Structures are given as structure tokens and as C-alpha cells.
Amino acid sequence: MATKFLLTFAICRLIVTVGLTLDPADLLRLEVEGQLSLEPADVAMASRDFGGMQSAEPMAVLHPASAQDVACLVKSAYESALGFGISARGHGHSINGQAMTTNGMVIQMSGSRGSRLGSGKPAPPRVSEISMYVDVWGGELWIDVLRSTLEFGLAPKSWTDYLYLSVGGTLSNAGISGQAFNHGPQISNVYELDVVTGKGELLTCSKKQNWELYDAVLGGLGQFGIITRARIALERAPKRVRWIRVLYSNFSAFTQDQEYLISLHGQAQKFDYVEGFVIVDEGLINNWRSSFFSPRNPVKISSLNADGGILYCLEITKNYHESNAETIDQEVEALLKKLNFIPASVFTTDLPYVDFLDRVHNAELKLRAKNLWDVPHPWLNLFVPKSRIADFDKGVFKGILGNKTSGPILIYPMNKNKWDEKSSVVTPNEDVFYLVALLRSALDNGDDTQSLDYLKHQNRQILQFCEDEGINVIQYLPHYTTQQEWKRHFGDKWALFSRRKMEFDPRNILATGQRIFTPSINPREPSW
């Protein structure tokens, strides 16, 4: 009764404060354990994301206590005469407003307020030691998944570089890091899902059960359903990590070594993580080793005979346990001998496995201390075919970017055969392709080359260069403004993607912030 009263009060406030465009009776029929909030702080949080470039204010925010709460709200939207959009929001790490909505509701999947929800808080991770999997709530953050599984000496196989992301969020995209060459992306390591479709149906799906929904949802950008539970494959967790960085001045040598290392996938004698990044200015070269040693003697790019004034860093790790600690030196040395990096540029450190996986959080804390975290992030993530990566290097790294940047530029290859072609994700049609991630921050410091307008223009230049040169790049974490662009993005997959949308979300209720399909409602215009 108290929940019903609070919901009625919230809806009355909605009518008065935002001019509710849906039938209040639709929401009055809701029977939820969670909380429907109009609190300014909740609405404001749901109106922004990590990108910091767009804003769209929802009518209200639901903090669900269960998958049934999610299904209840979505079913209400689906059956509503006027209709309203539903966006699931995890940690809010999207860049271009993908988890936002106007004239609709945001379901805040992460950070449900257990102290206020009491026993209605979504279930914590549940680990099966025998079957080597963990069942987790869709809004669970990967850092909390890791902490739960490590209690049993287990860990998921594939990661993202940043762990403060929701399970449902990364599985709706792909979820990649330096382990993807060996284990595939995170979506290749999921046994089973519970999904609330755009009709409000709560369905369990896997390769054997409701398989088409399973394939659609993985990498489906939230278009077909909201992930409320995921069953994630686990492996025995190593105790420690040998973390190594080496430098290259020659791009061809750098990519050849990366491609050689990922060709060792599945073998015992391999590195467990392979990434890389580009160093385009003097300032970053010393940060390159700051995780390892305090650089007392600054390094000059010019002193290393950099190709076009640019250096490339290969970042690799080898996991180990106490049982094989004595052999780790020989294993690493044997692998390094086959590489062609700059002599004497090896920097190494050993640390606990969890500390390596959570390494980006340390950088976050430092940036927050300097008020440099909550700034606009005009990121651009691209999949580049192996056959054109040298052309990309010449035109972008050595061309468009110049000699300054305001954030990391990652580059590393992946094996296509580790990706399930039945998922909704689009990848280049080559056996090996690269992720190039320009993870830059816009700063209001008087330097025009670090301003938001400059960086957004530079992103457009990069995409136009690829278009002009016929480099068939594919956006990862894609963002487009017209359906024609989306059709081009999905290519041969578009017909299946759109058919599945009609099947699982026929009113185009879900994830309207992606701007792929037009919802069957009359939304207020967001401030895009």
C-alpha cells in the first residue's frame, strides 16, 4: 500500500512538473518493489553520461529491485496507448547519450540503493565452483563481479580495461581488452542471459533456448532487450602478473610483433594480454613508464629515432601462480627474444592480478583529484582492417593528429575467429583487425588543440580520411544520427537486425538514445 501511494504521488508530480504525455493509469498499474524517483539528483544523473557532450532529461528514474520491476515498467510502456521510451543505464559510461531518453523513463540498473530498498535489492553475484560460472545482475559492475569470483579463486576470462562498467552495458556492445585475442570479447564468454524484451517479456536465452534473442542481445546496443542476468564463464584466477612495456620506432615492426603474439592464442607459451598505444608527443613518453618507475631522466622522442616523430608502445602481460613463479623469467625472456623492439626500452613490474585488472581506476582517482575526470570525452573507437592499418598510421597518427594529444591512443589487434558472427556486432571482414581507440579529453585550458570543438572536428577529419582512402573502418561503440548511416554500419546484417527489432521491440521502445529506430511515440526534442 505504501509503495502504491508513493507511486501515485510521483505520477502526480510528473503531471505537474514535466507535463506527462502518457496516461497516468499506465503507471498506476505498476507493482514494483523498487523506487520510481523524480528527485532532481536522480533525474540529473540520468540526463548525462561520461561523454559530457549531450543531455536529455527523462521524466523519471526507476531504481529496480528485481527483473520483475524492469519487466513491469517495460510492459507498461509497450501496452500504453500513448507510449514512452525506456533506457537502461548502467554506470553511465556511454559517450554520445546512448543511455538517455526524453519523454520516457530511465531504469538505473547500477547502484540500486540497497539501504533504501532493503530486501528488494537485486541479487548479488552467485558463483558455481563446479560449473565454473557466475550469475550476475545486469547492472552489476565488473569490479564487483571480480571481487565476488576471487573469493573462490576464479575470475572471468575476458575484460574491459576499465572495470567500473556494468555487465549489461558491456555485453550490449562487446566488451574488449587485451585478452580478446585469446578468449574473444566478453560476449563470447556468456553462457546464458535473462532478458526483458520490448514487449515486457522476461525470457531466459542461450545458444539452445530462445537462441535468436540471445544472438540479437549480445552486441545489440540495447535494441532488443534489457539484460537482467548474465551467466559468465570463469577460469582459475592467477595470483600475479608480469606487466611489460617496450617501445618501437618503426610501425611495421610494431604491428608485425603484435600480430605474431596474437597468433599464439590457445598455446601455453604466449602472453596473456596484448595491447599497445601510440605516443605522439614528448609529454606522454615519460608517462608511458610512470606505472613502473618514476622517470628521473626524461626521454626524448627524437633520441629514439622515432618514425615520423611517433613512438609505439607494446604492452603485454604474463599471468602466473606461486607454482610457476620460478619459471616466469625464462618464459618471458623466450617470448621477448622473438620481438623487434628498441633495445634497452624494456620496463617491467610485477603486481597482484586484481591490481593489474583495476589499473585504470588508479588513473581515474588521480584525474578526479585534479578535476580532470568530469570533462567532455569526444572518444572515437574504430575497428581497422589489418590490410589498411599502415595506411591509417600514415594518414592519422603521422598526419591528422600532429604532435599533440589529450589522452591515450590505443591500438591492438584481435582475431576474428574469436568473435561469434551470429551476434549483432559488426567487425571487419578480415582474419585480423585492429582496435584504434582515441580516448581523449576536452580541456578548457586555453589550448585550442585540446578544446571540444577541435577534437570533434579532428574526429570528423579522421572518418573523412578513411572514407576518402577507402579504409573500411567500423565504429566500435558506434554513434550515428541517421538510419541511413546505421544501415551502412550494419551492412549485410541490417536486414536481420531490423527484423529482430520488429520481433522483440515492435514499438521501438528500448534504447531510443542510440537513434537507430524512431519510437512510436511523440518525444520532446532532446538537447542534442
Q: Cell numbers at residue 338, please?
A: 622473438
Name the pairing type of β-strands 133-137 and 154-156. unpaired
Q: Is residue 19 pLDDT above 90, yes or no?
A: no
More confident residue, 34 or 116: 34
**pLDDT at residue 83 in the model:** 79
**pLDDT at residue 11 in the model:** 57
Q: Assign domain 1-117 to its CATH architecture.
A: 2-Layer Sandwich (3.30)
Establish how many alpha carbons lie within 13 A of residue 240's alpha carbon, considering only the half-sphere containing its beta carbon: 12
pLDDT level of residue 397 (50, 70, 90 thresholds) = very high
93 included as an active-site residue: yes
Q: Is residue 22 pLDDT above 90, yes or no?
A: no
Q: Which helix (H) or strand (E) holds 412?
A: strand 409-415
Q: Which of 63, 91, 93, 265 is catalytic?
A: 93
Q: Which residue's C-alpha cell is 567500473?
A: 164
Write the burial class of residue 337 (CB in 10 Å: 0-12 exposed, 13-18 middle, 19+ buried): exposed
How many CB atoms neighbour CB 153 within 10 A?
12
Give the whole-number percent of the chain exceeding pLDDT 70: 86
Cα–Cα distance measured from residue 291 to residue 282, given in angstroms and rounded to the nearest whole number: 17
Q: Is residue 2 pLDDT above 60, yes or no?
A: no
The angle formed by the CA atoms of residues 12, 13 and 19, to the nearest 5 degrees, is 90
**pLDDT at residue 142 in the model:** 98
Residue 283, amino acid: G
| pLDDT average, residue stretch 179-204 | 98
**pLDDT at residue 290 in the model:** 60
Cα–Cα distance measured from residue 72 to residue 74, given in angstroms and rounded to the nearest whole number: 6
pLDDT level of residue 67 (50, 70, 90 thresholds) = very high
Fold: same for 126-236 and 240-475: no
Q: What is the pLDDT of residues 153-190, one digit of tens each?
A: 999 999 999 999 999 999 999 999 999 999 999 999 99
* 233 touches 136 (CB < 8 A): no
Q: Cell numbers at residue 365, please?
A: 582517482
Q: Is residue 395 pLDDT above 80, yes or no?
A: yes
DSSP assignment of 147-207, as one string?
HHHHTTTEEES---S---SBHHHHHTT----TTHHHH--GGGGEEEEEEEETTS-EEEEES
492 included as an active-site residue: no
Cα–Cα distance measured from residue 504 to residue 201, given in angstroms and rounded to the nearest whole number: 9
**pLDDT at residue 527 in the model:** 38
Domain boundaries of the chain, sorted by first residue: 1-117, 126-236, 240-475
User: Mean pLDDT of all residues in the chain?
Assistant: 89
pLDDT level of residue 309 (50, 70, 90 thresholds) = confident
**pLDDT at residue 117 in the model:** 36
Q: For 358-361, which contacts have Cβ atoms below 8 Å and span 24 or more sequence positions?
A: 358/143, 358/146, 358/163, 359/161, 359/291, 360/161, 360/162, 360/163, 361/143, 361/162, 361/163, 361/164
Q: Cell numbers at residue 357, please?
A: 585488472
CATH class, domain 126-236, is: alpha beta
**pLDDT at residue 404 in the model:** 77
Q: Is residue 281 pLDDT above 90, yes or no?
A: no
**pLDDT at residue 405 in the model:** 79
**pLDDT at residue 285 in the model:** 57
pLDDT level of residue 407 (50, 70, 90 thresholds) = confident
**What separation, in Å, do the N-terminal and C-terminal C-alpha atoms of the chain show?**
40
| pLDDT average, residue stretch 446-468 | 95
**pLDDT at residue 257 in the model:** 98
Write the burial class of residue 326 (CB in 10 Å: 0-12 exposed, 13-18 middle, 19+ buried): exposed
**pLDDT at residue 31 in the model:** 76
* 257 touches 299 (CB < 8 A): no
C-alpha separations of 147 from 40, 178, 355 in Å? 32, 20, 11
Give the whole-number percent of the chain exceeding pLDDT 90: 76
Q: Cell numbers at residue 399, please?
A: 598526419
Q: Is residue 121 pLDDT above 90, yes or no?
A: no
**pLDDT at residue 495 in the model:** 98
Q: Which of 161, 259, 350, 355 is catalytic?
A: 161
How many CB atoms neighbour CB 453 within 10 A?
10
pLDDT level of residue 291 (50, 70, 90 thresholds) = low
Q: Is residue 520 pLDDT above 90, yes or no?
A: no
272 included as an active-site residue: no
| pLDDT average, residue stretch 264-275 | 95
Q: Is residue 525 pLDDT above 90, yes or no?
A: no
Classify each residue of 212-251 as buried b or exposed e, where b means 16 or more C-beta atoms within 10 Å of its C-beta.
ebbbbbbbbbbbbbbbbbbbbbbeebbebbbbbbbbbbbb
Q: Cell numbers at residue 159, please?
A: 575484460
- Paired with 232 in beta bridges are 134, 190
Q: Is residue 524 pLDDT above 90, yes or no?
A: no
Cα–Cα distance measured from residue 377 to residue 51, given in angstroms and rounded to the nearest whole number: 5
Classify each residue of 408-421 as buried b or exposed e, where b means 16 or more C-beta atoms within 10 Å of its C-beta.
bbbbbbbbbebbbe
| pLDDT average, residue stretch 264-292 | 80
CATH class, domain 240-475, is: alpha beta
Residue 85, amino acid: G
| pLDDT average, residue stretch 489-506 | 98
How many CB atoms neighbour CB 324 within 10 A?
12
C-alpha separations of 378 from 371, 438, 444, 459 in Å? 17, 9, 14, 8
Cα–Cα distance measured from residue 164 to residue 155, given in angstroms and rounded to the nearest whole number: 16
Q: What is the pLDDT of residues 323-335, one digit of tens each?
A: 888 899 999 999 9
Q: What is the pLDDT of residues 353-363, one digit of tens each?
A: 999 999 999 98
Q: Is residue 294 pLDDT above 50, yes or no?
A: no
Q: Which of 26, 140, 194, 275 is catalytic?
A: 275
Q: What is the pLDDT of residues 124-154, one digit of tens each?
A: 999 999 999 999 999 999 999 999 999 999 9
DSSP state of 271: -
Instruction: Note the pTM of the prediction, 2 decimals.
Output: 0.92
Can you give the length of the chain in residues? 528
